[in-house]
Amino acid sequence: MTDASGRDQDGYRRVPGAGPTIRSDIVDVYVFRRAAESVEVLQLRRARPPFAGDWHPLMGHIEAGETAESCARRELNEEVGLAASDASVLGFWQLEQVHPYFLAEIDAIILSARFAVEVSGDFSPRLNDEHDSARWVAAREFATKLVWPGQKMACQEIVTELARPGSLAAERLRLP
């Protein structure tokens, strides 16, 4: 039983009256490689809105009937020309942390599933028209070259968990 404001006898509003939309149809894919004494993460510069001129990992929308993982694999192929069967792919992982962020322009809270792909040192991305440039960012540069706190945390997870020899997390989060 609820009162006129929609609150139950304990004072809780069980059904929201309003608020931002919650979306979970975005994936982030962090492509990384091991370099001499470091890990480098690939960033792509967006060529057009939204986020034109900003540097990001691969990002994409999950299509109808697609899983987050299959979306990540499709986006890898579309955005940087990397197929799962490519000899450059050394590993594919889900990251533990989901990236939550608020996007005021669409009044939405986004929950983005995250993935990481290790590539060989000689991998060179083939960009599609969504991006106009690519760069490799070394771990020591994360604080100065990565803008978004959530992306810095994902890159740290790659360095401390996936790229660390003997990591149990890397073993458990690895995807076939």
The proportion of the chain whose per-residue pLDDT surpasses 70, expressed as a percent, equals 100
pLDDT higher than threshold 80 for residue 1:
no
- Decide: 74 and 66 in contact? Cβ < 8 Å: yes
Q: Count how many Cα atoms sit within 13 Å of the Cα of residue 22 in the half-sphere of its side chain.
A: 6
pLDDT of 17 reads 79
With bands split at pLDDT 50, 70 and 90, how would you rate the model's confidence at 7? Answer: confident
Per-residue confidence (pLDDT) for residue 16, from 0 to 100 = 81
Summarised one tens digit per residue, pLDDT across range 29-47 is 999 999 888 999 999 999 9
> What is the C-alpha R_g of the chain?
19
- The pLDDT of residue 37 is 84
Query: What pLDDT is recorded for position 78?
Result: 97
d(CA 102, CA 171): 32
Residue with tokens 């990591």: 167
Q: Which residue segments constitute the domains of the chain, with CATH numbers given?
A: 27-173 (3.90.79.10)
Which among 76, 65, 81 has a CA at the least distance from the CA of 27?
A: 76
Residue 18 CA, chain-centre distance (Å), reads 28
Tokens, residue 92: 């594919």
pLDDT of residue 75: 97
More confident residue, 11 or 137: 137
Mean pLDDT of the chain: 94
Per-residue pLDDT tens digits for 106-130:
999 999 999 999 999 999 999 999 9
Range 86-104 average pLDDT: 95
Q: Which residue has the tokens 């609820």?
A: 2
Inform me whether the pLDDT recorded for 85 exceeds 80: yes
pLDDT band at 77 (very low <50, low <70, confident <90, very high): very high
Reported as a single tens digit per residue, the pLDDT across 50-69 is 889 999 999 999 999 999 99
